[in-house]
């Protein structure tokens, strides 16, 4: 083995061009595969960091698609109402522990300092039994703390303990000021315990969740849905058994409360699958499949290079065989060269993957679960080592078997034509080129589809101008299930203060969800004279007068809101064009009396449509009412500036704190950043598949060039004879290009059929584009044909420059 290793290094060192090209191709293939595997492993494949994590399930509601959620996945689990959680926990018989989780925020206000908004997980004590975790210091709270008056206890995350309290061990037992109250610190959680699990923005605090008194009974006129429910299965209980028992609970609750449960059913799902989601899993596996194709192209390319190189080594192998080396010894030596090449490429690929993983982790869009676990760890390194062995076998076994069958008498004859130029090796190289081209077509079609889909998304008009707009959530503390006081007067005062800041063009406030914020508030809407039974629902926004000017939402008819629209004045409302089309058609809507949220109002203006939840969803009918007439318990400040919005942030923050000193500014961002995050999923998919397609195109072009160049070198004597007998240079070039054209066309045909079949998997990720769009196939075929022509033209031109005299003399 030592001798074979020396021979392997000597052989690779003597063919530096081949070694460099092969290393480059393999490094790109293995590096890209390792980086993508790291992401897929952390998000989809890896288990949860809890004892017997496969026994932990999520329990939620599955909703039927409705008019406002036509794309609702009927199998997806949704959050639940506290009333349902109470009944489920009381009636279930299949879980050993059940817990509820509500996300929220608590404000830490230290005397003399600015308030800091901390992410809080409001959980029932059963969560510690479900996850089987305990604090690293102190103790956890119990069910006795789920009572009003006993719930002012808190567990600190390890990160917050170190950041705000200097990792002081005596913080346990002390009290800290949260929301104007004092909370006793019971313990510190271990560093690896986070919620949401693996999130890059986990909760800083864990506090007991107390079901609000108003949500312990069912009301026919209102419902709050915000709880997550997780549970641990009893020993011996399967998910199917648990689902069957919860179906019985659902049937009993539906019979007792038909108005609450008529369009939903209970679902039980492994917690890992719930965190990832079916769409996320499909997206990740699609990326893994795409990068796997890149790796196959790289292996086929290196195998082709080895086959071409083997022809000049047949005499060497013949000598080794004549000296007594058996076929297995020859195969072992040749495979060892492949393993050395692959291992060297893997070392370089690991360095490339380490950089790529960091870029991917920071580039992941919002909503990717367990993103904090994306890293170059032992599992990823083991996968890279496995890829090294696999690639060595993939690209090394065929050349090794082929070369080990060399005919001794032919190989040892000086001046004979190499056996490597025979039919079988030539067919093998041609087959590999066809495979490379076919795989590259699949990647290029997918890349074209995602690029076209992204372009279609970018052409969507959001209905507003996001440039130079700063936003900040300045809502007072809100706890799920609890009603907050009306803050409209303070919000209006803040808007007035901020409008006086130098550089602010328009200052406004919105309640009910800002554009592209991901949420909306619905309320009843009907024309004057219609009964409540005939009413429908409409997206409802509460805004201050300058809101539409701040976002430059165009006024179509009538007027915008103004400061005179206050309490005591006539109730007014502005609607968008979608609402006009839905409710009024060709009839003039201005001056019409409508009922919005129970209040009768006059329509005074019509504005353009705005994409509220996402760019991909069509605008919904919307109504805008003055904040001074409606009131508001929460809001988002939106200001338009004449310069970089962040330059004005210190002055804006001072203006806000002068009115509401106990309320921190949350989610400070520009609208341009928000729009960028909304398209981050499609941008990342476009960039990755575009990169994979480019790699496939480049590697395939190298493979075509290598085969054609080798063909020319093997046919030097033939070409010399042809030219000596009168063949022109154009005829020689045409002959070489025809040979290349046959291989490329075969690859294009096979790749087109495979792409037509495989790209249906990408249909769910495309926007306003069909997976069989002919433009994507045409773009892929043209780009690959051009690259193949260039890669073939260089060897063909070189063949045409052969001097017949020199070619015949060399033979």
Determine which of 501-505, 605-609, 721-725 has the lowest per-residue pLDDT on average. 721-725
Pairing of strands 181-188, 593-596: unpaired
- The answer on 358 and 393 residing in a single domain is yes
Same domain, yes or no, for 12 and 136?
no
Helix crossing, 774-800 with 680-714: angle to 10°?
Answer: 30
Kindly state whether residue 357 falls inside one of the protein's structural domains.
yes
Weakest mean pLDDT among 144-158, 191-205, 405-419, 694-708: 405-419
pLDDT at 419: 42
User: At 67, is the pLDDT very low, low, confident or very high (cuts 50, 70, 90)?
Assistant: very low
Confidence at residue 154, expressed as pLDDT on a 0 to 100 scale: 95
Query: 494 lies in a domain?
Result: yes
Does 732 map to a domain? Answer: no
Confidence category of residue 365, pLDDT binned at 50, 70, 90: confident
Taking all residues of the chain, what is their mean pLDDT, rounded to a whole number?
Answer: 84
Give the Cα separation of 646 and 249 in Å (integer): 53
Secondary structure of residue 574 in the 3-state scheme? strand
More confident residue, 157 or 767: 157
In a domain, 515, yes or no: yes
Contact 524, 518 (CB under 8 A): no
What band does 162 get if pLDDT is binned at 50, 70 and 90?
A: very high
61 in a domain, yes or no? Answer: no
Is the model more confident about 96 or about 528?
A: 96
Range in 479-493, 609-623, 763-777 the model is least confident about: 479-493
pLDDT digits (tens, 9 = 90+) for 428-438: 778 888 888 99
Q: Which range among 347-351, 363-367, 382-386 has the greatest average pLDDT?
A: 347-351
Task: Evaluate whether residue 638 is within a structural domain.
Answer: yes
Contacts of 347 (CB under 8 A, 6+ apart): none
Instruction: List the structure tokens of 142.
Output: 């119990």
Other CB atoms within 10 A of residue 483 CB? 10
Whether residue 86 sits in one domain with residue 22: no
Q: Which two tokens stand for residue 574?
A: 């502005």
pLDDT on residue 333: 78
Q: Is 396 helix (H, G, I), strand (E, B) or coil?
A: helix
Is residue 12 located within the same domain as residue 94? no
Q: Residue 376 pLDDT > 90, yes or no?
A: no
Instruction: Report pLDDT for 457.
Output: 87
Q: What is the pTM of this model?
A: 0.81
CA distance 675 to 658: 30
* 599 DSSP β-pair partners: 596
281 lies in the same domain as 270? no
In a domain, 654, yes or no: yes
What's the confidence (pLDDT) of residue 481?
Answer: 46
Residue 423 is predicted with a pLDDT of 63
- Residues 456-477: tens digit of each pLDDT: 888 889 999 999 999 999 877 6
Last residue of a domain, one of 275, 294, 322: 275
Residue 674 vs residue 316, higher pLDDT:
674
> What's the pLDDT at 314?
64
Q: Check residue 134 and give its pLDDT.
A: 93
The string of pLDDT tens digits covering residues 628-661 is 998 888 889 999 999 899 999 999 999 998 998 8
Residues 501 and 534 occupy one common structural domain = yes
pLDDT at position 575, please? Answer: 94
Which among 681, 659, 677 is positioned nearest to 667, based on CA atoms? Answer: 677
Domain end, chosen from 229, 251, 275, is at 275
Each residue of 171-200: pLDDT tens digit? 999 999 987 788 999 999 999 888 888 887
> How much is the pLDDT for 221?
62
- Sort 747 into a burial class: Cβ within 10 Å, 0-12 / 13-18 / 19+: buried
Task: Flag whether pLDDT at 718 surpasses 80.
Answer: no
Task: Characterize the bridge pairing of strands 175-178 and 181-188.
Answer: antiparallel
Instruction: Mark whether 383 and 411 lie in a shared domain.
Output: yes
Whether residue 345 sits in one domain with residue 199: no
pLDDT at 671: 93
Lowest model confidence (mean pLDDT) among 80-89, 248-257, 413-422: 413-422
pLDDT tens string 608-626: 999 988 888 888 899 999 9
Q: Which domain holds residue 406?
A: 1-50+277-421
Provide mean pLDDT across the span 109-137.
88
Are residues 202 and 323 part of one domain? no
Cα–Cα–Cα angle for 378, 341, 12, nearest 5°? 155
Beta bridge partners of residue 270, listed in sequence order: 57
Hunting for tokens 């920071």 — which residue is that? 362
Q: Which pLDDT value is given to residue 111?
A: 67
pLDDT of residue 418: 45
Please report the pLDDT score of residue 416 as a whole number.
46
Q: What is the pLDDT of residue 99?
A: 95
Query: What's the domain count of the chain?
Result: 3
Say whether pLDDT at 807 is over 80.
Answer: no
Rounded mean pLDDT, 510-518: 86
Residues 265, 286, single domain; the answer is no
Query: Does residue 587 sit in the same domain as residue 504?
Result: yes
What confidence score (pLDDT) does residue 402 get? 66
Answer yes or no: is 742 within a domain.
Answer: no
246 in the same domain as 148: yes
Average pLDDT over residues 381-397: 82
Is the pLDDT score of 479 beyond 60?
no
Q: Are 633 and 485 a contacting pair, CB within 8 Å?
A: yes
Among candidate residues 275, 295, 329, the one where a domain is terminated? 275
């Amino acid at each position: 083995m030592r001798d074979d290793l020396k021979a392997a290094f000597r052989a690779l060192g003597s063919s530096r061009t081949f070694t460099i090209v092969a290393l480059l191709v393999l490094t790109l293939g293995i590096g890209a595969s390792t980086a993508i595997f790291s992401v897929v492993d952390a998000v989809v494949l890896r288990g949860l960091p809890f004892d017997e994590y496969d026994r932990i399930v999520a329990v939620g509601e599955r909703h039927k698609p409705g008019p406002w959620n036509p794309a609702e996945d009927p199998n997806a689990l949704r959050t639940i109402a506290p009333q349902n959680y109470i009944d489920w926990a009381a009636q279930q018989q299949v879980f050993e522990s059940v817990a509820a989780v509500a996300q929220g925020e608590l404000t830490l206000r230290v005397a003399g300092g600015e308030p800091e908004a901390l992410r809080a997980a409001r959980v029932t004590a059963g969560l510690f039994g479900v996850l089987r975790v305990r604090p690293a210091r102190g103790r956890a709270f119990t069910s006795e703390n789920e009572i009003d008056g006993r719930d002012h206890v808190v567990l600190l995350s390890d990160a917050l303990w170190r950041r705000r309290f200097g990792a002081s061990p005596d913080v346990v037992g002390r009290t800290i000021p949260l929301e104007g109250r004092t909370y006793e610190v019971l313990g510190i959680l271990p560093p690896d315990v986070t919620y949401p699990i693996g999130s890059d923005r986990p909760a800083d605090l864990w506090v007991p969740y107390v079901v609000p008194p108003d949500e312990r009974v069912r009301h026919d006129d209102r419902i709050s849905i915000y709880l997550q429910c997780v549970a641990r299965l009893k020993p011996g209980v399967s998910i199917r058994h648990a689902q069957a028992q919860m179906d019985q609970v659902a049937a009993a609750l539906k019979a007792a409360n038909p108005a609450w449960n008529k369009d939903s059913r209970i679902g039980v799902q492994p917690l890992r699958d719930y965190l990832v989601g079916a769409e996320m899993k499909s997206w990740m596996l699609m990326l893994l499949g795409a990068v796997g194709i890149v790796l196959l192209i790289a292996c086929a390319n290196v195998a082709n290079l080895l086959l071409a190189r083997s022809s000049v080594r047949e005499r060497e192998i013949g000598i080794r065989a004549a000296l007594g080396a058996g076929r297995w010894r020859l195969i072992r030596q040749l495979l060892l060269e492949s393993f050395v090449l692959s291992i060297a490429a893997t070392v370089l690929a690991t360095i490339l993957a380490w950089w790529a993983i960091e870029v991917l982790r920071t580039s992941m869009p919002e909503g990717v679960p367990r993103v904090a676990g994306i890293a170059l760890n032992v599992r990823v390194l083991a996968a890279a080592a496995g890829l090294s062995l696999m690639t060595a076998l993939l690209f090394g076994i065929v050349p090794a078997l082929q070369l080990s069958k060399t005919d001794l008498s032919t190989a040892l004859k000086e001046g004979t034509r190499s056996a490597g130029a025979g039919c079988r090796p030539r067919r093998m190289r041609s087959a590999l080129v066809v495979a490379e081209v076919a795989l590259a077509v699949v990647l290029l079609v997918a890349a074209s589809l995602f690029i076209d889909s992204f372009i279609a998304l970018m052409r969507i008009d959001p209905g507003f101008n996001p440039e130079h707009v700063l936003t900040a959530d300045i809502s007072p503390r809100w706890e799920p299930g609890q009603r907050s006081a009306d803050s409209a007067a303070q919000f209006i005062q803040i808007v007035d203060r901020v409008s006086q800041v130098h550089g602010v063009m328009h200052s406004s406030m919105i309640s009910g969800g800002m554009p592209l914020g991901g949420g909306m508030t619905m309320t009843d809407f009907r024309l004057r004279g219609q009964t409540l039974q005939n009413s429908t629902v409409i997206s409802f926004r509460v805004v201050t007068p300058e809101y539409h000017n701040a976002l430059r939402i165009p006024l179509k008819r009538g007027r915008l809101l103004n400061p005179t629209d206050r309490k005591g004045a006539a109730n007014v409302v502005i609607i968008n064009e979608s609402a006009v089309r839905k409710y009024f058609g060709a009839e003039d809507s201005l001056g019409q009396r409508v009922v919005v949220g129970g209040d009768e109002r006059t329509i005074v203006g019509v504005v353009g449509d705005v994409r509220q939840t996402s760019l991909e969803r069509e605008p919904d009918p919307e109504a805008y009412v003055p904040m001074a007439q409606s009131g508001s318990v929460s809001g988002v400040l939106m200001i338009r500036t004449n310069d970089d919005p962040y330059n004005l942030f210190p002055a804006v923050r001072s203006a806000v704190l002068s009115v509401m000193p106990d309320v921190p500014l949350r989610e400070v961002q520009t609208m341009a950043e928000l729009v960028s995050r909304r398209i981050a999923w499609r941008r990342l998919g476009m960039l990755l598949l575009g990169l994979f397609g480019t790699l496939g195109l480049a590697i395939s072009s190298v493979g075509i060039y290598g085969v054609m160049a080798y063909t020319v070198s093997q046919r030097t004597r033939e070409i010399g004879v042809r030219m000596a007998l009168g063949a022109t240079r154009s005829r020689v070039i045409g002959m070489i290009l025809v040979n290349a054209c046959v291989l490329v066309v075969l690859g294009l045909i096979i790749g087109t059929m495979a792409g037509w079949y495989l790209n249906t998997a990408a249909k769910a990720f495309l926007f306003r584009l069909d997976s069989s769009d002919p433009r994507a196939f045409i773009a892929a075929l043209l780009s690959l044909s051009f690259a193949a022509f260039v890669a073939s033209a260089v060897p063909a031109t070189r063949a045409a420059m052969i001097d017949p005299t020199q070619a015949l003399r060399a033979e």
